[in-house]
Amino acid sequence: MHSFNYHIPTEIVFGKDTELQTGKLIRKYGGSRVLIVYGGGRVVRSGLLDRVCKVLEEEGLAYEKLGGVHPNPYLHFAIEGVKKSIEFGADFILAVGGGSAIDTAKYIAHGTANPDIDITRFWTRELKVTKTMPVGVILTISAAGSEMSDSAVLTNVETGVKRGLSTVYNRPTFSILNPELTYTLPRYQIACGVVDIMMHTLDRYFCPAPHNHLSDEMAEALLRTTIYNGPIALENSKDYDAMSELMWCGSISHNGLTGLGNKTDFAPHQLGHELSARFDVAHGASLSAIWPAWARHVYKSDVSRFARYAANVWGIRGSNEEAAAIAGIHATEEFFESLGMPINFTTLGVGLQGEADLRDMAYCCSYKSTRTIGAFQVLTEEDMYQIYKAANC
C-alpha cells in the first residue's frame, strides 16, 4: 500500500428536505453574505432557488444570485463571477446544481479570497492556491462528485483547453444531498451520471500494482451498486432508494476513498476532456465513448487486473484470464449501450474524424506534446492517437 494523507472536511447532510437547512449551515460556517451560483435556469423553474433564498432570508443572510453557468463550464464566466463576488462583498459561495455550478463556485471562491490574482494563473497551475473561502453545495445531479472532491474543471474557450485543478482547497465546506432534487433529471443526464460515477471508480481501480485490497473491494462494491441501481433510476427517476444509492455512490466515487493506497490513472478522463472541449459533449458521454478503446489498448499491461474486474464486478469467469479480461470490457461496453450512452465517435454524435483531426486531438490532449497521461499504462501522444483512432468508428 502506498502512503497517503486523507482529509475530507466536507459535512454531508443527506436526505429529504435537507436544503431547508442551508441557511443554518452557512451561519455555522461563518457566512453572512452569500453568492449563489447556478446553471441554466432549471433551478429557477423548479422553484428550488426560491426555496433556498427564503431560508437564507429567514436566517438573515444577504445574498446575490449568479445564474448562467454553462455545462462544461467556462473559465471566463468564473472570472466574471469573481468580479461580482468581490463587488458584493461575498464571504460565502453557494453552488446549486451539478459539477458545472460547483466547479465554477470553487474558482469564484479562490478568486474572491485572492482578489489580486487572476484565477487563470491557478487554472494553468502557474500559481498554487494557498487560501480560499467556504463553498457550500446543494446537489441536483449525481455524477461529477464535485460535492466532495478536491477537483474543479473549467474550459478556456480562447485556447480550447478543458482542464482540472486538484487542491485541498477545492473540498466544499458542506454538501446537501437530497435525492428528491434529482427526480427531474432527464434520462440522458442520469445515464451520463452513472457512467461518470463508474469512471471515477475505474480510473482509480485500473492502476499499477501493488494494489490495496480494501480499496479494491470498496471500488468493486461501488461499481456493482451503481450498475444495479442505474437501470432502476432510468426506469423511474422518482425511485427514492435508487436515486439515493446513486447520489451517495457519486460522492464516494470521487472523494478519494476508492483509490486510497493506490496510484490513480485518470487517462480516460483526460482523453474525454479533449472531446468535451472540442465538441462540447456531456462529460459522461465523452467517457463512455472513449473507455472501450482505452481498455482494449491497455489491458495487456495487466491482464489479471482486468480479469479480476470481470469476475468481481460482472461475475464473468472466462476460460483463461485474457478471455475474461476481454469479456469484462465487452460487458462494460454493452452496459453503456443499454443506458443509451455512446461507445464510439459515431454514437457520440460527432461523426467520423479525419486523420489530421485525430492527430490534433492527441496533440492537444498531450498539451502540445509536453505530457504523458495515465499510470496503469503511461500513454504517449502516439498512444492517445491510437486510442482516438480506435474510437473513431
| Residues forming the site for Zn ion (CB under 5 A) | 196
C-alpha 91/C-alpha 33 separation (Å) is 5
Please, which of residues 50-109 interact with ligand NZQ by CB under 6 A? 71-73, 97-101, 103
Please, which of residues 202-221 interact with ligand NZQ by CB under 6 A? none
110 touches ligand NZQ (CB under 6 A): no
Choosing from 104, 189, 229, 288, the residue that interacts with ligand NZQ (CB under 6 A) is 189
Buried b or exposed e, range 145-177, using 16+ CB within 10 angstroms: bbbbbbbbbbbbeeeebbbbbebebbbbbbbbb
* 52 and 22 Cβ atoms separated by less than 8 Å: yes
Residue (212 or 286) nearer to Zn ion, CB? 286
Burial bucket for residue 3 (CB in 10 Å: 0-12, 13-18, 19+): exposed
Q: CB 265 → Zn ion: shortest distance, Å?
A: 13
Q: CB 169 → ligand NZQ: shortest distance, Å?
A: 13
131-150 footprint of ligand NZQ as x/- string (CB under 6 A): ---------xx-xxxx--x-
Q: What is the largest CA-CA distance in the chain?
A: 66
Dihedral angle sign, alpha carbons of residues 367, 305, 295, 229:
negative
* 175 and 11 Cβ atoms separated by less than 8 Å: yes
251 touches ligand NZQ (CB under 6 A): no
Choosing from 31, 39, 256, 328, the residue that interacts with ligand NZQ (CB under 6 A) is 39
374 touches ligand NZQ (CB under 6 A): no
Contacts of 170 (CB under 8 A, 6+ apart): 106, 129, 149, 150, 151, 152
Please report where in the chains the cell 463556485 appears, as a residue.
Answer: 105
Choosing from 269, 278, 297, 389, the residue that interacts with ligand NZQ (CB under 6 A) is 269
The item of ligand NZQ, Zn ion, none sharing an interface with residue 21, based on CB under 5 to 8 Å by kind, is none
The item of ligand NZQ, Zn ion, none sharing an interface with residue 138, based on CB under 5 to 8 Å by kind, is none
- What DSSP letter does each residue of 257-296 carry, written as one string? GGGTTS----HHHHHHHHHHHHH---HHHHHHHHHHHHHH
Q: CB 287 → ligand NZQ: shortest distance, Å?
A: 8
- Kindly report whether the peptide bond that precedes residue 179 is cis, defined as omega within 30 degrees of 0: no
Question: Where does this chain touch ligand NZQ (CB under 6 A) — which range of 35-43, 54-62, 86-94, 315-323?
Answer: 35-43
Residue (39 or 292) nearer to ligand NZQ, CB? 39
41 touches ligand NZQ (CB under 6 A): yes
The item of Zn ion, ligand NZQ, none sharing an interface with residue 42, based on CB under 5 to 8 Å by kind, is ligand NZQ
Residue closest to 219 by CA, chosen among 153, 264, 165: 264
Please report where in the chains the cell 468508428 appears, as a residue.
Answer: 393
The residue ranges that bind ligand NZQ (CB under 6 A) are: 39-42, 71-73, 97-101, 103, 140-141, 143-146, 149, 151-153, 181-182, 184-185, 189, 192, 196, 254, 269, 283
